[in-house]
Amino acid sequence: MLFHSTRGNDSGRTFEEVLMQGLANDGGLFMPDNWPQVDLEHLKSLNSFLDIAKHIVPLFTKSSFSDDEVLNILDKTWHDFGKDNLAEIHQLDDSKYVLELFHGPTAAFKDFGLQLAAAFFNQSLKRQSKTAVVLGATSGDTGSAAIDACKRFDSIKSFILLPDGNMSEVQRRQMTTVDSPNVFTLRVNGSFDDCQAIVKKAFSERSFLKDDQFLLAVNSINWVRIIGQICYYFYASLKITNYNEPLNFSVPTGNFGNVFACYSAHKMGMPLK
């Protein structure tokens, strides 16, 4: 499985290259060269979110990590969730269900993708004997989830840009009260788009990095976040219909990554109406 840019001028990339690079050299977003197909009959025999993830994640990582490596990473990835199965499903009536994705440590669905990305970041940095700077823009939940996911890894320093006065007090406190020496929260005089523009410019220049440092993306531009989110759509479909009927998903989303993960799951074989 290799990856290419949506703009067509950056291709043949391995999973690890996509992981550590984030944005493609031509400014596009990385996509897999093809959609790996899941074995739905095998998934029907599984029960937990983690079991689902152990089937799906290795489909994307074989160009850089052995399956045994990936399974070992996944056993240690998702932490501090309030529910054993990470995602809860509640039935409202005969046709409506709610998939609860707020049981992670920052109460955001982004805990799923960012904890997965941080675990792979750390594994790659360890085997290359390097360190990394995580740079992200946020209007709230991305920054909180990124900080929480990365703070336990000494190889990663997180710099999160947030717009001045444009978020809830709870989210502000989640990002500005973390007592970790590798976490830096920066307030920007502007909007989220201004923060994102700074991040994109930094990724295009990279002149401030040391020779042994990577610059890592935690916004939706990193494909590994999408992989983590694909897993909970397959999990919901398993629990609600056992893949025997297609579901409709109503997805509240900001930067499109969450609903794109649902589309990706469908392209991989999940029944979707």
Residues with active-site annotation: 110
Query: Across-strand partners of 3?
Result: 13, 32
Q: Quickly count: other Cβ atoms within 10 Å of residue 226's Cβ.
A: 25
Across 39-152, where does the E strand assignment appear? Answer: 88-91, 97-100, 131-137
Of 64, 52, 128, nearest in space to 89 by CA: 52
The phi-psi region of residue 140 (left if phi > 0; otherwise alpha if psi is between -120 and 50; otherwise beta) is left
State how far the Cα of 191 lies from the Cα of 196, in Å rounded to an integer: 9
Expressed in angstroms, the distance from the first to the final Cα of the chain is 27
Across the chain, where does the E strand assignment appear? Answer: 3-5, 30-32, 88-91, 97-100, 131-137, 156-163, 183-188, 213-217
Helix (H), strand (E) at residue 21: helix 15-21
State how far the Cα of 9 lies from the Cα of 70, in Å rounded to an integer: 29
State how far the Cα of 32 lies from the Cα of 30, in Å rounded to an integer: 7
Write the CB contacts of 107 (distance below 8 Å, at least 6 apart in sequence): none
